[in-house]
Structure 1
C-alpha cells in the first residue's frame, strides 16, 4: 500500500511538474497569453477541441466495429462459398450414382428389379433376390433423400449468402459514414487549433494538463485507491503492461492497431494480444468484458471512460494508465482518474 501511495504521489508530482515547467508559467504570476483570434477564450477553445476529438473518438469506435463486423461477414461468405462448392460436388456424385443404377437396369433388359424377381422359378434365387431388392430400394431411397437434402442445403446457403452480403453492404455504408464524421471532426479541431499562435498553443497544452491534473486530484481525493487490495497482476497482465509501455511515444492515428501507430482500443487490444489473449477490438465491445471494482483493479486491467465508452486505457498501477489520447498526441502515461471512469474490466478474469 505504501508503494502504491508513493506511486500515486509521484504521478501527482509528475503532473504538477509538467504544469510548472510549461511555457509561460511562473510561480506567483498569471499567464498572460493573448486571446485567440476566434472570439473565444482559450479555455473555450480547449473545450471545443476536446469535444470535437471526443466526437471523433466515438465515430472511430463505430468505424472499428463496422470494420470488424465486415471482416466477420466476409469470412462467413467465403465459408458459405466453400460449402456451395462442396454441395455441388456432392450432387454431381449422387447423380452419377443414380445414372449408374439406371444404366444397370438398362443392361438387364429394362425390367425393374421387382418384375425380374417375380419371373424367377428358383425359390432360393427368389429369396436372395427379394433381399437384394429390399437393399436396393433402401439404397435408392437413401440416394434420393440425400440428393434432396443436399439441394435443400444449397438453397439455404444461397439465402445465408444473400443475408451476409446485405450485412456486408450495411457495414460498408456504416464505415463510410463514420469515416466522414471522423475526418470532419478532426479537420474542424485542427483548423481551430491552427488559428492559434505558438504561445497560445503552449497555453492550450498547459490548460489540458491543468484539466487532467485537476480531475486526477479530485479522483484521488475521493479515496478511490485507499481500499485497493494490492492484488498482484497476472502474468498475462504483466505482459500487456510491458507491451503498452514499449509503445509510449508512438503517434495516435484513428483506426490504427500498430505496430507504429495506435488508436485507444487498438493499443489495448494489441497489448492483450501480445499477452496471449484475444479481446474485442473496440472500447465499447471491451466494456462487455468481466467487470471489477476500482478497489480491486490491478495492472493490466482496462479502464473504460465516458458514458458512451468511447475511450479506454490500460491500468499500469499506482493510479496511472497508458493510453493513446487523440489525434495530434502520442501514446503516453496519464492519471487513471483524469477522465470520467465508466467501468474497469479484466480481460483474463
Structure 2
C-alpha cells in the first residue's frame, strides 16, 4: 500500500470516528440549518478520500488495459517461439538421422571422405543460426512476461487498495445517509428546497472551448451528486469538470488533484471554463459573472453558486 493511500485510510478512519461520535449529539434535535452545516463540514473531510478512491480506480483501469495489450502481443510471440523451436528440433532430428547418414551414404557411393567435415560444419552453422533466432525471440517473450507479471502484481495491489477504500467510503456513506434522514425529518419529511442563486443565464459570456465546457456544466444542473460518478446521469466534482472539458474536445485527468496539472492562472485572469479549486479535494468550473457550477456533495444536485459563497477558492487553472 502506498504511503499516500495509507495516510488517506488513517484520515478516513479519523473522519469515521468523528462522524460516529456525532451520533451522541443527534438527540439534541438540531435545526435544519445545523444539519446542513454538519453535512457540509463532514463532506468536506470525506471528499479528498473519494478523490483518492477515484485515482486508484482510474489507475486500475489503465493498468488493466495495459495488461490486456501485453497479453495480446504475447500470444503471437509465443506462437513464433514455439514454431522456431519446432523447426530447430526437426532440423536436429534430420541432422542426426538423415544428415550424417546421407553424408555416409555419399561416401559409400564414391563421394570423397574429405567432403564430410565441410558438410557437417555447414549443418552446424545452420543450427547455430536457428538457435540464435530462437534465443532472440525468447528474450523478447521473457521481457513481455516480466512486464505483464509486474502489471499483474500492481493490479492485484490496487484492487486490494480499491476494496479497502470502498469499504471505508461505504461506512461514511452510511453515516451521511443517516444525517440526510435527520435533515429530512427536520424539514418535516420534505426535501429542502434549493435556494435560487439568481443565475438565469449560464454561462455568462465566454467563447471557444471554455464556453463549450462551461455550457456543458451548466446543462447538468439539477442532476444529483454521486461519489465516483462520471456521468451522464450523476457526477462527482471532478467527474463533472472532466466531462465538461471532454465535451469541449479536451482530455483532462480524472481527479481534482490530478487536474491541478493544468496551467495555473490568477484570480484576476479568470475566464469562462476555467477550473476553480477549494483545497485539493474539491473542484468546480467557472461560468462567468462571479459564478461557478459544481457537484457539491451527496444529497445535493449540481448547481451554480457565487464563487466565494460558503468557501474561498484556493487555486485557479485553465485546461
Query: By the TM > 0.5 criterion, same fold?
Result: yes
- Per-residue deviation at 1:280? 0.7
SS of structure 2 residue aligned to 1:312: strand
Asked if 1 retains the 8 angstrom alpha-carbon contact of 2:214 and 2:273, the reply is yes
Matched ranges for 1:231-270 at <5 A? 233=206, 235-270=208-243
CA distance in structure 2 between the partners assigned to 1:201 and 1:337 by the alignment: 31
Matched ranges for 1:198-347 at <5 A? 198-199=186-187, 233=206, 235-306=208-279, 309-338=280-309, 339-347=311-319
| Alignment pair present for 1:67 and 2:57 | yes
| Alignment pair present for 1:179 and 2:166 | yes
Deviation digits for residues 297-329 of structure 1 (CA, Å, limit 9, x no counterpart): 2111111211xx111111111111111111110
CA distance in structure 2 between the partners assigned to 1:173 and 1:69 by the alignment: 13
SS of structure 2 residue aligned to 1:109: helix
Root mean square deviation, CA, Å: 3.7
Asked if 2 retains the 8 angstrom alpha-carbon contact of 1:251 and 1:260, the reply is yes
- Per-residue deviation at 1:275? 1.2
Distance 1:198 1:47, change over 3 A: closer
SS of structure 1 residue aligned to 2:304: strand
Deviation digits for residues 186-221 of structure 1 (CA, Å, limit 9, x no counterpart): 33233234335444899x989xx7xx9xxxxxxxxx
Runs of 5+ consecutive residues of structure 2 not aligned to the other structure: 1-24, 198-204
TM-score, normalised to structure 1, is 0.68
SS of structure 2 residue aligned to 1:314: strand
CA distance in structure 2 between the partners assigned to 1:257 and 1:79 by the alignment: 25
TM-score, normalised to structure 2, is 0.74
**Pairing partner for 1:38 from 10, 14, 28:** 28
- Per-residue deviation at 1:233? 4.6
Q: How many residues align?
A: 281
- Per-residue deviation at 1:51? 2.4
SS of structure 1 residue aligned to 2:28: coil
- Per-residue deviation at 1:38? 2.4
SS of structure 1 residue aligned to 2:293: strand
Asked if 2 retains the 8 angstrom alpha-carbon contact of 1:52 and 1:188, the reply is no
Partner of 1:150: 137
CA distance in structure 1 between the partners assigned to 2:79 and 2:112 by the alignment: 35
SS of structure 1 residue aligned to 2:214: helix
Runs of 5+ consecutive residues of structure 1 not aligned to the other structure: 1-34, 213-231
Asked if 2 retains the 8 angstrom alpha-carbon contact of 1:250 and 1:261, the reply is yes
Deviation digits for residues 274-303 of structure 1 (CA, Å, limit 9, x no counterpart): 111111111111112221222112111111
Distance 1:302 1:111, change over 3 A: farther
| Alignment pair present for 1:91 and 2:62 | no
